Amino acid sequence: MWKPLGIGRAGFGGMGSIGHVDQPWGHTAAGVPLGNGPAADNPAVVGPAGRVHLPLADWALFIGDQLRGARGQAGLLTVAGYRHVQTAWPGSDQARGWVVVDGQPWAKGPALWHNGSNTMHYAVVWLAPKADFAILATANCGDADPACDQAVAGAIRAFINLP
């Protein structure tokens, strides 16, 4: 999946080398560092729910592909493949990895949202296909969702020209 998108620095499990500050260390809400290295992540058994790490520039390549797919363009997947992954189950807002969100005026239509935490790091992404807009935010603290949400809201106001 990574090579066709030009992603070259992704991996699974914790980032960096044990005891070295060569990648961001996760922290508790109190600011206590949680270490680094391959084991600094959730156990491998929860791998299907995450455990991928990659630089923001590479994550943006993946999200750009998802945004193009949401706009009806083929890429890594066929148009039908994106529709399958990004369409909510009947009676739900849950898609396959995405939450479909209606009622966000800045999105000019349905938006796609996803977030996650391994209790040491937090990440969130919003896609607004009709606005041709995507935003990513991340922090090296597992419960940084309020801070990331504030950053995302500020960026949406700035880039979509909202008051």
CATH code, domain with 89: 3.40.710.10
Place of tokens 């999946």: 1
Q: How far apart are CA 29 and CA 69, in angstroms?
A: 36
The distance of Cα 68 from the centroid of its chain, to the nearest Å, equals 16
What is the number of domains present in the chain? 1
What pLDDT does 21 receive?
86
What pLDDT does 150 receive?
96
Domain span including residue 155? 3-159
Where on the phi/psi map is residue 21: left (φ > 0), alpha (ψ -120 to 50), or beta?
beta
The answer to whether the beta carbons of residues 149 and 113 sit under 8 Å apart is: no
Give counts: helices (H), strands (E), the chain.
3, 6
What pLDDT does 34 receive?
86
CA distances from 63 to 18, 33, 111 (A): 29, 29, 13
pTM above 0.85, yes or no: yes
The answer to whether the beta carbons of residues 161 and 105 sit under 8 Å apart is: no
What pLDDT does 20 receive?
85
Name the residue among 120, 146, 99, 132 with its Cα closest to residue 13: 120
Residue numbers of the chain with a pLDDT score lower than 70: 1, 162-163
